Amino acid sequence: MLGSMNQYLVEGGYPLRGTLKASGNKNAALPCIAAALLTDEPVILRNIPEIEDVHVMIEVFRALGGTAEALGGHSWRLVSDIKSCVLPSDAAEKIRASILFAGPLLARAGKIVMPPPGGDVIGRRRLDTHFLALTELGAQVYTADDFYFTAKKLTGTDIFLDEASVTATENAVMAAVLAEGDTILNNAASEPHVQDLCRMLVMMGAGIDGIGANRLVIHGRKRLGGCDYTIGADYMEVGSFIGLAAATRSEICIEGALPGDLRPAKVAFGKLGITWEHEGRTLRVPGNLPLKVNHDLGGMIPKIDDAPWPGFPPDLTSIVTVVATQVEGTVLIHEKMFESRMFFVDMLIGMGGRIVLCDPHRAVVSGPARLHGADLRSPDVRAGMAMVIAALCAEGNSVISNVYQIERGYERLVDRLLSLGARIRGRVGD
Task: Give dist(CA 417, CA 214) in Å, integer.
Answer: 37
430 is a catalytic site residue = no
What pLDDT was estimated at residue 327?
A: 97
What pLDDT was estimated at residue 122?
A: 41
What secondary structure letter does DSSP report for 351? T
> Of 108, 115, 54, which Cα lies nearest the Cα of 82?
108
What pLDDT was estimated at residue 331?
A: 98
Contacts of 249 (CB under 8 A, 6+ apart): 15, 287, 288, 289, 393
> Of 99, 90, 29, which Cα lies nearest the Cα of 63?
90
My answer on whether 294 and 403 are in the same domain is yes
Strands 251-255 and 17-21: parallel
> Of 223, 232, 220, which Cα lies nearest the Cα of 281?
232
Burial of 257 (0-12, 13-18, 19+ CB in 10 A): buried
Task: Give dist(CA 304, CA 148) in Å, integer.
Answer: 40
Task: Give dist(CA 295, CA 142) in Å, integer.
Answer: 51
Q: Give, in order, the Cα–Cα distances in Å from 220 to each of 12, 224, 225, 399.
A: 54, 10, 14, 52
Report how many domains make up the chain.
2
What pLDDT was estimated at residue 429?
A: 61
The residues pairing with 359 across neighbouring beta strands, listed in sequence order, are: 362
* Helix (H) or strand (E) run with residue 397 in it: strand 396-401
What pLDDT was estimated at residue 5?
A: 67
What pLDDT was estimated at residue 124?
A: 45
Strand blocks (E) in 13-127: 17-21, 43-46, 67-72, 75-79, 111-114
In a domain, 150, yes or no: yes
In a domain, 2, yes or no: no
Cβ neighbours, 10 Å, residue 288: 7
In a domain, 1, yes or no: no
Strands 207-209 and 43-46: unpaired
My answer on whether 226 and 237 are in the same domain is no
What secondary structure letter does DSSP report for 153? -
Task: Give dist(CA 292, CA 274) in Å, integer.
Answer: 8
My answer on whether 82 and 205 are in the same domain is yes
Peptide bond preceding 368 in cis form (omega within 30 of 0): yes
Contacts of 272 (CB under 8 A, 6+ apart): 246, 291, 292, 293, 294, 304, 320, 323, 324, 327, 331
The region that residue 183 occupies, defined by phi over 0 for left and psi between -120 and 50 for alpha, beta otherwise, is beta
Largest CA distance in the chain: 64
In a domain, 250, yes or no: yes
The region that residue 311 occupies, defined by phi over 0 for left and psi between -120 and 50 for alpha, beta otherwise, is beta
My answer on whether 62 and 155 are in the same domain is yes
Q: From first to last of its 430 residues, what are the pLDDT tens digits of the chain?
A: 444 568 999 999 999 999 999 999 999 999 999 999 999 999 999 999 999 899 999 999 999 999 999 999 999 999 999 998 899 888 877 787 889 999 999 999 999 998 887 544 444 456 889 999 999 999 998 888 888 999 999 999 999 999 999 999 999 999 999 999 999 999 999 999 999 999 999 999 999 999 999 999 999 999 999 999 999 999 999 999 999 999 999 999 999 999 999 999 999 999 999 999 998 889 999 998 889 999 999 999 999 999 999 999 999 999 999 999 999 999 999 998 777 778 899 999 999 999 999 998 999 999 999 999 999 999 889 999 999 999 999 999 999 999 998 998 999 999 999 999 999 998 776 5
What pLDDT was estimated at residue 401?
A: 95
Domain final residue pick, 180, 213, 230? 230
What pLDDT was estimated at residue 2?
A: 44
My answer on whether 145 and 97 are in the same domain is yes
My answer on whether 224 and 104 are in the same domain is yes
* 3-class state of residue 364 by DSSP: strand
Sign of CA dihedral 232, 236, 241, 246: positive
Query: Considering 53, 120, 234, 315, which one is annotated as catalytic?
Result: 120
Domain final residue pick, 230, 249, 268? 230
Sign of CA dihedral 143, 146, 152, 156: positive
Note down the domain range covering 319: 7-23+233-427
My answer on whether 268 and 338 are in the same domain is yes
Peptide bond preceding 310 in cis form (omega within 30 of 0): yes
User: What CATH number does the domain containing 419 carry?
Assistant: 3.65.10.10
My answer on whether 194 and 314 are in the same domain is no
In a domain, 181, yes or no: yes
190 in Cβ contact with 210 (< 8 Å): no
Strand blocks (E) in 118-214: 140-143, 147-150, 158-160, 182-186, 207-209
> Of 150, 406, 353, 170, which Cα lies nearest the Cα of 247?
353
Domain final residue pick, 184, 212, 230? 230
My answer on whether 18 and 69 are in the same domain is no
Q: pTM for the whole thing? A: 0.92
